[in-house]
Structure formats: C-alpha cells, structure tokens
Structure 1
Amino acid sequence: MEPSPNAPSSGRKRKNLSSTGLGKSKRLKTEKQEVEAVECERPSSSPKVSVLFDCLKQPITLKELTSLLHYVALGKGGGIKKPSWCGVQQRRRISGVNVVVVEGLTQSHFYKHYVTLKHLRTNYTSRITFMPSSQNIASEVFSSEVPRCEDPSVLQNPALRSHPVIMKFGSERRGLTAYVLTQEDMIKYHYPVKGPHVSFEEFVCTESSDRVTDRSPLFGLDCEMCVTIKGNELTRVSVVDADGTCVLDELVKPANRIINYCTRYSGITAAMLRPVTTTLRNVQHKLKALLPRDAVLVGHSLNSDLVALKLIHRHVIDTSLLYRREFGQRFKLKVLAQVVLKKHIQTKKMLGHDSIEDAAAALEVAQYFINTGPRQVVERHLEQLWGEEITDTPTRQPQSLRFADVLQTRQQSVAYFGKRCEVALELSNQQWHNSDKEVLASFRKTTHNPFLSVLRFSSFSDHIQQCDAPQEQLHHRMCADLGQMCVVFAGPFPEGFSETEVKRLFLSCGPVRKIKMLKRTVRLHAQVEFQLLEGAVLALKTLDGLILHGQVLKVQRPVNSSVLDLDLTLDALMDDALSSRSIYAVRSKHRVAVGGNASAKVNGHTPGVGVPGALSKKTTNGLPPSGGNVTTVRLSKEEAIRETFGQLGAVERISLLAKPSTHAWIKFKSCDDKPTALAEDHRIGHYNICPCLTPPHLRSWTASAETTAAAEEHDSENNINHQGQEMELMMRKLDRYLGKLFRSVPDCTLLVVLFPGYNGCQEQLPGLCFLEVKSGSGEEQ
C-alpha cells in the first residue's frame, strides 16, 4: 500500500480505560478472521463500492461524495456519470443509501481512538480522507443538483424523462439480469422468500444457484386457483420454455374442500378435478426436477402463483412490474399481449383462462421488453399503454434538479434525522431530536427504511465547543501523540558518529522525518522520528542489538502516556481491512562509515562481506545502472521486487515510495500469502519486511513540525486526562450506535459514515469518509 503524498496526516492509538491490556490483546487477535471475511469472502454477486487506489492520493470533496450518491441512486440511465474516484460493482442491486454525519470529528479522532472504534475499522472496507466543507453537509446531500441528462431523446421528451419505466430501468437496453427482482423488491411485492417469515415456513425452495447471468434460461409460469375452506388453493399449473413450448401442465387436487371453482376465471370445473390425484407436493417435486439451477421464472403478478404453489424461487421477472405505471398501478396481461404482441388472450369465447396461453404470453412480453430496451418500448407504446404523446420540440428541464426532489419524483422516499437545523427538505420528511440516542432510536423504529436517509450526530460537536481548548489545539495535541508512535531512541553510538550516518543507518527501516542528536549524556544517543509507523517497528525488530565498533546498539520506544497502549493499536492495525493482503518492504542498506576508514559490523558481520543487502557502488539497489533513464530504473525495481515476493504468492500491486524508492508496499492477490511472507522472520532476500500499518490514504503518521510543536502548554495534566476520558467514553458510545445502525439497515444498502473535519478561519483539519455496502446473507440476486 502506498500512502498518499498529498493527503493531510493523522493517525493514532487509544488509551486503556476500563479493561486490562491482556484481555484486549486477546480480543484484537480474534478480529483477523472478521476482517478477512470482509475482504476475501464477500460474495462476488454482492454490490460493492471501493475507492480506486490511485485516487487515495487526494482527499475527496463534498461534491465528489454527492456525485457518488447520485450515481448509486440514479445510474447512467438517469444521466449520471460514474464517479472517477471510486469503483461501483452491481450498482443496480444497491437498494438504499444511508449517510451518517458525525459532526465535530476529524481524521485524527479516528486514529487516536482507533482500537475503541472496532465497528468502523472492521466493517468498513473503504476509507478516504475528506476535505472539510463550510456547507451544511446534511442539507447539501439533499439539495445537491443532479446533472442534466445528456441523452437527447430523453431530454427532448418530458414524457420519457419522467416516465416510470425510464426512471426505474434507465434508457439503455440491458440483459435479463437487469430486470430480475432483487431480494428487497421481492419482499416489497410480497413474494415468498427465505428467512424468518412465519407465513412461508412450510414453503419448498427450488435448488436455484446464487446468481444468474444474461444467458440463463427463461421459463413462463402461470397458475389457476380455486377457493377452498382454507382460502385460495392451486388447481392447475403450466410452464413453458423460452421457445413457448409447454413443458409442464398439471391439474392439481386441492387438499381441502372446494367451495368455489372460480370457473369464470380459472376454467376449472368439478368434472375436470374429479379424477385428478396429483397433489401440491407432487407438483413441487416436478418443478424442482424440471427447473435448472439458474432458471429465471417469468410471470404476470407471479407472487400469487408462487404463493399458491408454496414455492420459493430466487430469480423471477414480473411483467406487471416491467411495464410500470404511476402510483403502483399495473396493466393486465391481456392488455399487454394485445398492445405489445398484437395477440388476443382471455377472450370472452373461452371458458376461463388458459394457463398455458397466459404463461406463454407473459414470457413473450418479457422477452420483447428485454430485447427491445426500456426506451424503445416506451416510445413505441407510449400513447397506447400510457395515454401520452411524444413531442419532438425541445422542452424545459424539470423545475427542480435537487437530489431529494428527483428521488421523490421516482417514488423513492427521503428522510432527515437529527438536531433541528436548516435542511433543504420538506418538514414532513424531517425528524428532529436533541440527542444521538434519540436520533438512532427514531431511525430504527421507522417501519419502512427511506431510500435516502441522512442522520446527524451532533453530541461531539457540542462537547468540543464546551472544551476550554479550541479545536485546533485539541487536534495538535492528538497529532503530537500520533507522532510519538513513530519515534525511537537509539544508542549508544560510537564517538564521532554524525547525524548523517545515523540517518543512513535508519533509512534501512523506512523514510526518516527528523533526527535529533542527544549529547547531554555520557554517551552519544539519538532520537529518530520516522514518517511511517512501519519504520519504527522495523527499527525495533532489525536494529536493536546491532553491533557498531564492538558496542551494542539499543533501540527502544519512548516511555510516556501516549504509547502505553501502542501494542494494542499495532495488533489492530495489522488486521486492518485496508491492509489485510499487504506488507511493507525496504531494501537493507547497512553501509556505515565511522571516522573515514573505520568499519561497522551489522549483527556480527561486516557490510559488503557476505551480508545480504551489501551493495556495490556500481549498482542501483542491486541492479545494473539504467543509464539515466528514470522510468527504466523504476520499472526494474518493481520487477526485482515482484521476482523476490512472487515466489510466495501472486502479487497484485507494487507501490514504491517516491523518495527513497527503496521502500515499497506489496499487495498480494490472496489473503493467505501475507502470513507466508511474514513467516520469514522479518526478512526476505535483501528486504526487511513487516505488516502494513499505514492506511493508504495517509501521507504519514507524523504531523508537520509546526503541528507537533503546538503541544498542550496551557492545559493542566488533570484537565487533559479528564477531557480524554470523556472523549473515550463518547467514542465507545458512538461505535455502539454505528454498529446498531449497521445491523438495522436492509441488506444491499450503501452506508456512508462521515467525520467532516474542521474548517476553521486559519486552519483546515481533514475529515474521514467510510464507505461500505452491507452484504446480504446470500439471498440477493
């Protein structure tokens, strides 16, 4: 992983307030499986949003975040371009958007309380720096302007632009998977589904696969029912294949006494059922044997047919929902067949309906929709089916292109939960509360989750405003603590050892930000501050015990309150979802000159004499000179690293630090290859290695010199501890709230948690944006 060279810096650990460090350490080690499950075992068919690696070098703005929300909700069919900074997989399966704005928190708050915020660091696999905004974020999400549609045919025809079919499916022609109902739609339209639903406990499940493709076979299905003393029961079932050939047609004997044969509609009479012995169970077995695992059932209001069959099938296309009308109204199959297929079914001459004919008609109507595409279907039949006319003259754009208004036009609900403030939303869609607890409780009590919901947690902002120290000073204090994580003390060094020689030695562990020579003691020591936490870890692993001129070098961390729980933070960082497949490597260059001709021994060996990592002056990192071609040198280094680490597993990406370029982040394709690499005792070939600890969106764990210098000069120690304890408790509570919220939203919901940062008069403190699509339990299509 490569830290961003431009993103603001932050990062930290937390203090232990309640339980013992030993218990927490054991708990943290059990989290690795949870993280790997998110990173490596997510079903391929599940929707996913991820930040593109190259885009982690820059923080995102509020405008870029809202562009993602627009694309997820409206897609290309709504005229929205895909955001350039993130990737979106299976966008059509995303069923809703939930945004939580935690006011008052910055990126540094997250890394300072990193161990405490278990839910955020384990369940959210995408994390990127957020540029603070002076705007009301909650209001801006609703009021952000949706780009105008660029499709000329849709632009020029208001009847097309706001048509329910176009609004749902877009204007482009797509494969059949675009029209298969999602799990959420099946629940919404009362389809029998798997799960703890009492009314579907006795239903039989077909052996359908987890996902279907655009080449999956279609089968038309239609059933006829009668009324028994127990309600509606099945009397006939018919199935046709993609060619319209009948592959199953069975009369079924109801289990209970019939009180109405519904002959006018079903065509079933008492005489027809008298000799029938086929039961519902027989038909269920025949259907399970007939349908392939990737079969897609097609029908008109198919939910009633499946309920009558007491059958659960995961992949269905409902023609009554393809040819959509406003306000939930539906066309009859008879009307669709007549207008679209030019066929007459269910005529008065017939005694009831013919289920074979109806199944074939529904299948053909669906095939026509899929092959023709939504826009042409609407254009061809707009007047006959929807009673509107197409005008060729350009018309005005909708009066409002605000995101919330566009969603409501599409019959997608929006809602705001939080403290009373100026939100660009109708009052009927706002719920005001005084505390974060009330906000969460109100959202969880909502019967139907809105498609777009924004929750505003304001307790942290209120708490920080009550503190004696301003926001900038609190941030500087955190950054100073974070900087201590990257500091080591080393010594004693031989007499005359210079700062340049110390830097050259410690560069074998990572980029060095600052060195301070300590000459106040009898022997010479140094304080070394690395840019990356990995550097400090490697220094402790590889340089502690180094022999220089017969003297044993001791490398140790500073002892102060900010690093007391650092071991817990390191354990958690090693299992971070952002680095679950990555390691940090640096080419060793132990070339130390002491007093001109003097030699230095590295772990008992003289560099350049049989020591891995000893380099010739005629080589560059062990490779021949490139003749000044910078591009060739960079590629050669990447190839050398790939050759070394490719022996342990497939390497997905190699990222070189710009300067010095001997430091690299190696990401493997498999989660299993990282432990294999780390089993080599922190060294592979010429490289010192350790787990990745720096998140890819961070430039460095250390802050600028000005920031580090601004410490807690004016606050007493008691006041600092008191404020730290209060913030720690609030962070624990926040993580519980966010965990409950995550569990309460439906599957396939895009969740966004935003620490908005701080936009002060003299300084901007970066925020942090978390992204995750809640993965379903395998039920989604």
Structure 2
Amino acid sequence: MDAALDGKSKKRKQIQNKFFRGSGEGTANGDPDDEESQPKWKKARLSTKLFVKNCEISHDQLHQLLKSAVLGKQHESTEQGVPNLGWCHLSHPTHLNGVVVIVLQEVSQLLFYKFYLQFKHLRKAFRYRFRLPVPSANFLADIIGEQPNGNKEEEGILPTPSAMQVSSSSLANPQAITDLQNDPIIQKYGFEKVGLVRCLLTKEEMKKFDFPLQGLANCRNFVSTECVGPVSDSSPLFGLDCEMCLTPNGNELTRVSLVDAEGHCVMDELVKPDNKILNYLTRFSGITRKILKPVTTKLRDVQAKLKKLLPPDAVLVGHSLNADLQALQMIHPNVIDTSLLFVRNLGRRFKLKFLAKAVLGKEIQCPDRVGHDSTEDAVATLELAQYFIKHGPKKIAEMKLDTAVNSQQFLASPKQKNTLPLCPSGPHKEARLPTDATWQKNSGILECLDLTGRKLLFLSQKAGGSTLMSSRFCRSILCTSDEEVLEQAQAEVPLSSFSVIQFSQWPHPLPPSLTVEMHKKMKVKWAEMSTVYAGPFGGSFCLKPLKKLFASFGPVHSLAVILETDEPYLCIQYGVLEAAQLAIETLNGACVQGVRIKVQRPVQELTLDCDTMVSTLETDPENESTIYVNGMKESYTEEDMSQKFSLLPSLEAVFLPVDPQSKKHKKYCFLKFRSSECAQNALKILHGPTGLSWKLVCRRALTPSHLHEWICHSCPDPRSPQASDVVPLASKEKSPLSPQGEELKIAMSRLDERIAKLHGRLPPHTLCLVLLPGTESVRGSSTGLGLISVNDDDMKSATPEVLQWVASQD
C-alpha cells in the first residue's frame, strides 16, 4: 500500500493551523508538484490548501495568484520558484501557456448550488472551488488591479529598478541599511560574528520546534545520548542526517549517517524497522526492499553506536534535525538546526538543496540519482553551520537569499533561466522582469504584462462596461451578445497569454426579492436534506440509547418524538448532510430495540430531487477524494488527529470545524486525499478491524469544504415557526420553477455550455479561473464563488459525456 509524504519535504511536518499537507506516491516516479521531481514532471500544476477556517479567498489573494502567474518564479512571494500564497500552490509557473479569467456577471454561489445539476461541465471539470466575498462596485478592478487612465506617472508606479546587487555603495543607502537591520538573522544574532554556543537552540526553541526532550510524554522510551558535558565554542560538531520509511507507527528509521567536523563519515548504517514497511519512500530515501532485505541492524543497535561515538560535549548539526532525532528516538541537548539558522521572515525556511547551492556553491540531491544521500546531506548541513560561524550573520544577510530564490539563479535549469512565464516564442522571449520587491508590490498585472510587450485581452458585451475597455494596457473587443463573446473568445484566447472574458447573461441585475427568496429556499432545502424520520418504534421504546445511536453519525441539531402517528417516530435534524446520509444507509431496514425501522428523508416540494442531488454531490471532484469522519472526542487535540490520520496513505489535508461559540473542535472532520482511489483505500482502513483504534463512522463527503461553513451557519430548523413563516414548503405562491425561475434554469445551462466550449479550446497547461462575483444590494447580498484549474490536468475530471460533447462542438 502506497503512503503519503509531502512533495515539498522529505520529512513529515506536524499539522499546522487547520490543515496539514501530505504528498504523492513514495516511488521513484515522483510527485508532479515537487520542485525536485524528475524532468518529465516539469509542467505547470495546481494544488490548493483551501481547508482553512472558512475557505473564503479575498479579491486581493486572487490578484496575487494572477500576478504570480504573470511574474512566475520572480514574484516576491515565491520560495524556491513556487508561489507561496498560503492558499494555493502553483508549480512551475514558467510552463504555463496562458491565463484565462472567465467572469459570469450577476452569478453567485447561491445560483451555482441552486442550479447545481445544470452546471454539468463546471462541477466536473474544475477540481478546486472557493468562496468569494461580496463584490465591490468594480469587481474586475479588484481582481486585475487595473489602472483606468493608463498613465504611469499619474498612477504613481515606481520606475523599474535594476536587479538588486549588494555592494558597499548600496549599503551606504539608508534604505539598504534599514533593510539589513530588519533582516531576521541580524535581529536574532546581531552584526558581529558569533561563536558555536550562540548558534545552539535554546530549550524553549527545541520545545517549540518539536525536538525530543527529557520529561515529555511522547519521549518516555527515547534514549539519551548522555552528552551532558559543558559546551564551548571549541566543542566538536557532528553532521547528522537520517532517511525514513513509512510503517503503521509512522516514520521509522532506515538509514543514519554521521560525519565529524572535517566531513569524514564516522557512521553510515542501514536500519531495519521493527514494524512492517508500508512504503520505502524510495524517491527521497533511496532505500528499496532489495537494499534492506539482508540488513539485520536494528534501531537499538544504532542508538548504542551513536552513544559510543559522541563525546560528552558533542554538538549535532542537521537540517530539520527534530525529525531525525524523532526517527532515532534519541534525546540530545546541544543542537544546531540549519533550517532555523538561515530562517527568513514569517518563519520561512529554505530547502537544504537551495542553501547548499546558494551559500556553499555545492550541488546535492541531483535529480539523476534516485533518492537522497544522507552522508552528502550531513556534510552539507555541517558545512553550512561552519560557514555561518566563520563569516558571521552579516555576511549571510548580505547574500539576499530571498532575492536569489526569486531570481531563479540556483533552481532553474539553463533553458529556463532567462525566460518568462506565459511568454510565447518571439521578440520578447528574453525579456526580464525586475526582481525588486518594492516595484513588484506597487505594480499591477497590466504593468507587468506591458513590460514584456504583452497586453491583456478583454472580451465583453458593450453593456458589461469596465474601465479595462479604455486602458492602454488592454486589447478590448466589445461584442453585442454572449454568443459573439464566445465566438471571439474561441478565436482570440488561444493566441493570448492573458485573457479576461466576461459573460453578461442578463441586461439588468436580478430583482433583489428573487435573490432573497432563492436564498431562503436554499437554506430550507439543505436543512430538509439533512433531516431524517425514523420509526416506527414500539410503545415502550427507550429514548436515551436512541439519541446516542443517531448522534453517532454526526452533530444533531434537534431530535423530536412524533406521537401523532399510530406508533412513535423520531425526527432528527443533523448539522451536516453526511450524517443524515449515514443514518439512512446504516439504519434503514435495521432492527432497533426489537423493531425493524425505516429511516428516510421527508418528501417535500424542495426535496423531490434529493436522491439525484446526493448521488451527484458524491461524485463531485470536490468530494470524491474527501471523506467525512465522525466520532472524535472534544478532548482530542490537533496533534492527536495528526498522529492518527498521518498513517492514512496520500492524505493531503484535514478540515477541523470549530464551534463558533465554544471555539472547540467539533466531533467530526473532513479528510482530503490525493485521489478518489486513495480516499477509498482510507475508508477501507477506517472501516477495518482496528479503525485506527478509534470508534469512528465515516463515508464519502457530500458537502464541498467552501460550502460547509455557509450551511452550518445559515440552515434553519425546517420545523421551526420562523422557518415555516419565512418559506412555507407548501404554499400557494409560485413554485421554485416559476416562469422566471425556469428562465434562470435555462440561462445557467447555456452559461455552462459556453464555458465548456471555451474550456475545450484552451491550450494545454492554461490556468483557468471561472469567477462568479456574487451580488450586492440593500435587501441582501450573495457571496461569490471561484473555480480554478490548470487545463489538461482537470479536464481529466470531466465525464466522458462532457468530453464527447465538447469535442462535438469543435
């Protein structure tokens, strides 16, 4: 069974905030998102970290993503060539063939889920979705960062600077001196050279960064190196690096290398884990089944050998050394961690591969070799620490390592070094954008395009209106209808590096009263879909165990006994759709308290298509690789869940809902995996005899993560007087598909068809965003929705019927 490991690091990290990252397969094939993958993976790919508190992405965050796509690896927010936007990870942006933004005016998240079944292409071809805030007066200005008059002097755009170079003359500049003083390395160590002792991590820092320490509960069985002698600046340094595999107990040691202060290898041992190996993680460790087969050395053997080799005042040096010591199950008091020694703003850390090249001028972890060499890595970490001590923190700060990363000096291949993202072959191929962070911050996307001789292509109806139409940075094509917009887009977009297409389905905004009515009905529909009726029960039934039974599937908003029927029934409204579906699948037809019961949803006007909705939601790309898990105790911490769920192969993220009142974790969560197959394998593990030793119930997710918060905080009790008064389920008013509603349904289907036609014409490796801006009015506002994909990757998610239909339109 394949296991997960983060493609961005060979060592598993602890869960961070409300999500943690997993990885791809642990084979030599590599992870397509990994910057160090084999050359065959060098193509633009997208992954997201949308399992955050509310999955809402601001307009400025979208602007930064688009700007990163234009600037590619030179963007100020990148680290080692990959945009570090917090919520979205765009690999190899220089390999993008173009960026396309499709805007559906006056369409909101509400309309998308109201007419969810009509959006056949959108819901299948775009893997990632996120909620957008209510739009401002000029939505496009927020997203593109447009400048209406196109005059750089009036816009206050800073002049283009030359590439940043550090010299004595530049340091005479007051701003350069200020920048140096604000450098995190200078702030911690000062300008003067420091000795070895000053570079040691304090006990507080070791605790913060999860180093094994005496007295910690999870280190009870760890072995101490017993190096308790006094440490001075002349104490011996030893470089340490380990390789791991994955077992049912997590990461276990397979190789350990130790080098002395001269770089001589004093220990290099293969280790056979005590537990069954689930994944050798060959692409990172270089270890295979064949290599480990004859090995008899165990963990206790290398622990004993290390204790003998290390003198009392030994100082261990490593990169993310905490992970190595955890794998060794050893405690050592004096350590230098080079990932923290060279740390940047906001705690950003460089990879060892980059530091070795940028600081030492050494190539390590070469892509033509399978796996890392732990001895080579140990030598590199040792030499980095020695370089820091010899030359001092000022020398390191003056290297401007952030700029070195952004300028691709050490990471891009020679063929990529002087090319720009999105730039077709032609006279501008060698154009370079400035790397100065101040200029990047103050310039907009349009200015970045203009510097490389390109313009944004803008297509819209005349009625749409936008200051983009008059901008000298844009080539605007105004059309008389959406059909003409589509026709022009099919011809022009494949030839443009950056395009904005705006569809205006109706000449006037929807009446606010209609939006309010649909919003109320959607609330009630989701509440009804999350409600089940169970029974009949005998006259002597016991309510307390029934409450416990139905609560085992998920959060219960209300449970009522219905006595108007011949025999008692229960009405249970759940907080999440998955819990109601689990109750139906588990208990319908089951024998409960000696009676065979039925569990079913109420049949109401708004829930007649409920079965179709549930089956469609289950195959939604947002849900098919995600599972819902219920049964955690409130006392479980994020660390508890991290440890347990990290054993599930290819886990990418964990979404932990928080109660807004108590601020405590709820008793359920969502686990997102790399693929549908990985999610299915995880379900088998959780349904297995051990179930990770927790009493858990789980199934495929039905609620996209960005929709979860909206549902939890807006769904009323359908049996409450307020809900009944607001939206009667059986009223004399027009049905949900009144003539105006029917027109909306047809309009949404046509929009979906147009997007499918255009999406099918986009070149491979095109970043495509479909933005439903939402609406704003005095009578109520609707949040927007964003859908994002890299063409060629996400068209694989489309159904055969959709792909066939797209082909037929050509």
For the superposition of Structure 1 and Structure 2, which TM-score range results when normalised by the shorter chain?
0.5 to 0.7
Cα deviation for residue 669 of structure 1 reads 4.8
Partner of 2:71: 74
How far apart are the structure 1 equivalents of 2:440 and 2:644?
58
Contact conserved, 1:515 with 1:529, CA < 8 A, in 2?
yes
Among 101, 105, 108, the residue aligned to 2:107:
105
How far apart are the structure 1 equivalents of 2:493 and 2:622?
35
1:704-745 Cα offsets, whole Å, 9 max, x none, are 329955326887235744333322222221111111111122
In the TM superposition, 1:208-287 aligns within 5 A as none
2:796 counterpart of 1:754: no
How far apart are the structure 2 equivalents of 1:514 and 1:447?
52
2:62 counterpart of 1:65: yes
Contact conserved, 2:94 with 2:419, CA < 8 A, in 1?
no
2:685 counterpart of 1:704: no
Partner of 1:570: 614
1:107-127 Cα offsets, whole Å, 9 max, x none, are 122223223212112211111
Cα–Cα, structure 1 residues 416 and 712, in superposed 2: closer, same or farther, change >3 Å? farther
Contact conserved, 1:142 with 1:424, CA < 8 A, in 2?
no
Name the TM-score, length of structure 2 as normaliser: 0.51
Cα deviation for residue 68 of structure 1 reads 1.1
Cα–Cα, structure 1 residues 455 and 492, in superposed 2: closer, same or farther, change >3 Å? same
Cα–Cα, structure 1 residues 501 and 108, in superposed 2: closer, same or farther, change >3 Å? farther
2:600 counterpart of 1:526: no
Cα–Cα, structure 1 residues 741 and 151, in superposed 2: closer, same or farther, change >3 Å? same
State the SS of the aligned residue for 2:558.
strand
Partner of 1:492: 536
Q: Tell me which structure has the larger Cα radius of gyration.
A: 1
How far apart are the structure 2 equivalents of 1:727 and 1:638?
45
Among 104, 118, 121, the residue aligned to 2:120:
118
Contact conserved, 2:56 with 2:132, CA < 8 A, in 1?
yes
Counterpart residue type for residue 475 of structure 2: N
Among 461, 464, 485, the residue aligned to 1:419:
461
Cα–Cα, structure 1 residues 44 and 671, in superposed 2: closer, same or farther, change >3 Å? farther
Cα–Cα, structure 1 residues 56 and 150, in superposed 2: closer, same or farther, change >3 Å? farther
In the TM superposition, 1:367-378 aligns within 5 A as none
Cα deviation for residue 678 of structure 1 reads 5.0
Cα deviation for residue 425 of structure 1 reads 4.0
Contact conserved, 1:493 with 1:523, CA < 8 A, in 2?
yes
Cα deviation for residue 682 of structure 1 reads 6.8
How far apart are the structure 2 equivalents of 1:62 and 1:560?
38
Partner of 1:259: none
Cα deviation for residue 87 of structure 1 reads 1.1
Counterpart residue type for residue 690 of structure 1: R
Counterpart residue type for residue 92 of structure 1: T
How far apart are the structure 2 equivalents of 1:518 and 1:642?
43
Cα deviation for residue 679 of structure 1 reads 6.2
How far apart are the structure 2 equivalents of 1:92 and 1:535?
44
State the SS of the aligned residue for 1:763.
coil
Contact conserved, 1:499 with 1:515, CA < 8 A, in 2?
no
Partner of 1:341: none
Greater Cα offset, 396-405 or 503-512? 396-405
How far apart are the structure 1 equivalents of 2:558 and 2:765?
47
Counterpart residue type for residue 687 of structure 1: L
Cα–Cα, structure 1 residues 526 and 44, in superposed 2: closer, same or farther, change >3 Å? farther
Contact conserved, 2:629 with 2:669, CA < 8 A, in 1?
yes
Cα–Cα, structure 1 residues 640 and 77, in superposed 2: closer, same or farther, change >3 Å? closer
Partner of 1:24: none
How far apart are the structure 2 equivalents of 1:39 and 1:478?
37
Cα deviation for residue 153 of structure 1 reads 4.8
Cα deviation for residue 650 of structure 1 reads 5.3
Among 770, 773, 780, the residue aligned to 2:787:
770
In the TM superposition, 1:30-429 aligns within 5 A as 44-55=41-52, 57-75=54-72, 77=74, 79=76, 82-144=84-146, 153-154=162-163, 317=415, 401-420=443-462, 421-426=465-470, 429=475
How far apart are the structure 2 equivalents of 1:150 and 1:497?
79
In the TM superposition, 1:503-522 aligns within 5 A as 503-522=547-566
How far apart are the structure 2 equivalents of 1:63 and 1:439?
27
Cα deviation for residue 445 of structure 1 reads 2.5
Contact conserved, 1:61 with 1:130, CA < 8 A, in 2?
yes
Contact conserved, 2:653 with 2:671, CA < 8 A, in 1?
yes
Contact conserved, 1:503 with 1:512, CA < 8 A, in 2?
no
Cα–Cα, structure 1 residues 44 and 132, in superposed 2: closer, same or farther, change >3 Å? farther
Cα–Cα, structure 1 residues 478 and 733, in superposed 2: closer, same or farther, change >3 Å? same
Contact conserved, 1:130 with 1:756, CA < 8 A, in 2?
yes
State the SS of the aligned residue for 1:50.
strand
Partner of 1:431: 477
How far apart are the structure 1 equivalents of 2:458 and 2:656?
44
Among 716, 733, 749, the residue aligned to 2:750:
733
Cα–Cα, structure 1 residues 498 and 408, in superposed 2: closer, same or farther, change >3 Å? farther
Cα–Cα, structure 1 residues 535 and 143, in superposed 2: closer, same or farther, change >3 Å? same
State the SS of the aligned residue for 1:635.
helix
State the SS of the aligned residue for 1:70.
helix
Contact conserved, 1:50 with 1:771, CA < 8 A, in 2?
no
State the SS of the aligned residue for 2:771.
strand
Greater Cα offset, 670-679 or 527-536? 670-679
Name the TM-score, length of structure 1 as normaliser: 0.53
Among 671, 680, 688, the residue aligned to 2:697:
688
Among 672, 675, 681, the residue aligned to 2:677:
672
Among 452, 457, 462, the residue aligned to 2:498:
452
Cα–Cα, structure 1 residues 719 and 110, in superposed 2: closer, same or farther, change >3 Å? closer
Contact conserved, 2:75 with 2:440, CA < 8 A, in 1?
no
Contact conserved, 1:105 with 1:461, CA < 8 A, in 2?
no
Partner of 1:541: 585
2:602 counterpart of 1:558: yes
Cα–Cα, structure 1 residues 138 and 496, in superposed 2: closer, same or farther, change >3 Å? farther
Contact conserved, 2:53 with 2:657, CA < 8 A, in 1?
no
Cα–Cα, structure 1 residues 44 and 537, in superposed 2: closer, same or farther, change >3 Å? farther
Cα deviation for residue 424 of structure 1 reads 3.4
State the SS of the aligned residue for 1:750.
strand
1:387-411 Cα offsets, whole Å, 9 max, x none, are xxxxxxx9x9799944324312321
Cα deviation for residue 495 of structure 1 reads 5.0
State the SS of the aligned residue for 2:117.
coil
Partner of 2:363: none
2:639 counterpart of 1:635: yes
How far apart are the structure 1 equivalents of 2:775 and 2:446?
26
Cα deviation for residue 548 of structure 1 reads 4.3
1:608-633 Cα offsets, whole Å, 9 max, x none, are xxxxxxxxxxxx96xxxxxx9x56x5
Among 486, 506, 510, the residue aligned to 1:440:
486
Cα deviation for residue 677 of structure 1 reads 5.1
Cα–Cα, structure 1 residues 150 and 488, in superposed 2: closer, same or farther, change >3 Å? farther
Counterpart residue type for residue 698 of structure 2: I
How far apart are the structure 2 equivalents of 1:756 and 1:84?
22
Partner of 1:187: none
Contact conserved, 2:767 with 2:789, CA < 8 A, in 1?
yes
1:560-591 Cα offsets, whole Å, 9 max, x none, are 2333333332222222222333322323xxxx
Greater Cα offset, 403-412 or 434-443? 403-412
Partner of 2:629: 585
Partner of 1:717: 734
1:153-193 Cα offsets, whole Å, 9 max, x none, are 54899xxxxxxxxxxxxxxxxxxxxxxxxxxxxxxxxxxxx
Counterpart residue type for residue 485 of structure 1: M
Contact conserved, 2:161 with 2:434, CA < 8 A, in 1?
no
Contact conserved, 1:51 with 1:128, CA < 8 A, in 2?
no
Cα deviation for residue 688 of structure 1 reads 2.5
Percent of residue pairs identical: 23
Counterpart residue type for residue 626 of structure 2: S
Cα deviation for residue 318 of structure 1 reads 10
Cα–Cα, structure 1 residues 721 and 504, in superposed 2: closer, same or farther, change >3 Å? farther
